[in-house]
Amino acid sequence: MRLPDVLRGDMGVIAQLLRGMPQHADHAQRLSTFYAPQAAQYDRFRERLLRGRAEMIAQLPLFSGARVVELGAGTGRNVDFFGTAVERIGSIQLVDLCEPLLVQARERASRQAKIQVICADATTWRPGQAVDCVYLSYSLSMIPDWRRAIRNALSMLKPGGVLGVVDFYISARRALPGCVQHGAVTRSFWPRWFRHDGVRLDPEQLLTLREQLPDHELVECRGAVPYLPLLRVPYFTFVGRKPR
């Protein structure tokens, strides 16, 4: 793609981000209204923003015959991070409530018979049988009832199954020992920045994951923001195992 086309696409996405998430509709309608104008540019723009996805997916148990679910799958881009592991996986179910993004996911799924795309709510949808792995990539913070989404993810996992999450976050005012402590400016600025676009940064999200899955690996980082080189947004990767 030529540079002028890239810039034009980026400016369209940024314009939509500045408009923000609509407030007067149900969650599915808000998502569709917000993402429909930027769906075609979604992956390319967010490639520079949504860090840690490949690293989190590399930790998932993608063994032969594994049944995998992504909640809040959007365009299905994350399946590309599986690499050659996708050949040995038994099935991949991509679940999202935003129809405009799922158009892109269905195009990807057309190249792999084992990928199923499902338009459904991550807090209530269940697979037909227990699965080996569930992951959420920058979607937990966009689900209004995120606690219910975590409970639902855990309920569909087999004993010993793995839950992976990568997302933006802020620490609690007093972080747990061994965790990154964010300052007052970080804890105030980023929730306000993202709230405009329907992203809710709540320190309880990471705390809840750690409490629900004590056997876990956690990495806390900061990543660049496109066109704003001085800003670094906090994000984490979390991979936890459900007790047997």
Q: What is the pTM of this model?
A: 0.92
How far, CA to CA in Å, does 1 sit from each of 10, 49, 234? 12, 19, 30
The least confident of 35-49, 71-85, 168-182, 202-216 is 35-49
Query: CA-to-CA distance for 15 and 19, rounded, in angstroms?
Result: 6
pLDDT at 13 over 90: no
C-alpha 121: how far from chain center: 14
- pLDDT beyond 70 at 112: yes
| C-alpha 5: how far from chain center | 27
The continuous run of DSSP H or E covering 208 comes out as: helix 203-212
Which 3 state secondary structure label does DSSP give 238?
Answer: strand
Residue partners of 221: CB distance under 8 A and separation at least 6: 51, 52, 234, 235, 236, 237
175-207 pLDDT, tens per residue?
988 899 999 999 999 999 999 888 999 999 999
Q: Dihedral, CA atoms, 132, 136, 141, 145, nearest 10 degrees?
A: -40
Separation of alpha carbons 185 and 181, rounded Å: 12
Amino acid (one-letter) located at 1: M
CA atoms within a 13 Å half-sphere pointing along the CA-CB vector of 206? 25
Q: Count Cβ atoms within 10 A of the Cβ of residue 65 and give its class: 0-12 exposed, 13-18 middle, 19 or more buried.
A: exposed
Closest to 222 measured CA to CA, from 151, 179, 160, 168: 168
Q: How far apart are CA 161 and CA 179, in angstroms?
A: 24
Instruction: Using the predicted structure, report yes or no on whether residue 70 has a pLDDT greater than 60.
Output: yes
pLDDT above 80 (res 97): yes
